[in-house]
Amino acid sequence: MYTLLLMGPAAAPADAAGQQPSAWPTILMFGAIILVMWLFMIRPQRKQQKEMQEFRNALKKGDKVVTVGGIYGEIVEVSEKTVLIRVDGDVKLRVDKQGLVKDYSDAEKK
């Protein structure tokens, strides 16, 4: 039995006409697996990355944001790649836009 498993398709009997089994079911299965991976993994991740990029491009003075490290602050100045945020009183931090993950301006108004 073990030797039959090792030999795989080469040991499989040919059908009645003497032809080898078709490869189409295997190709369709791999295609279905790739489609499922794209639908459930790649597509949502790209959508999330696009939303984060739009968020970072739309930053403006006065927005309240959270950094990756969990620091809450208000944007004082926006440049091309960085923002200056006021953390508390006169404490200001310059952080890269990629380090900002959330805008909580609207959450406080509710």
What CATH number corresponds to the domain at position 97? 2.30.30.100
Side-chain-side CA neighbours of residue 98 (13 Å): 1
Q: What is the pTM of this model?
A: 0.63
Residues 46 and 70 in one domain: no
**102 in any annotated domain:** yes
**51 in any annotated domain:** yes
Residues 69 and 103 in one domain: yes
pLDDT at 98: 93
Contacts of 97 (CB under 8 A, 6+ apart): 56, 59, 81, 82, 83
pLDDT at 104: 82
pLDDT greater at residue 4 or residue 84 = 84
* Number of domains present in the structure of the chain: 2
Does the pLDDT at position 1 exceed 70? Answer: no
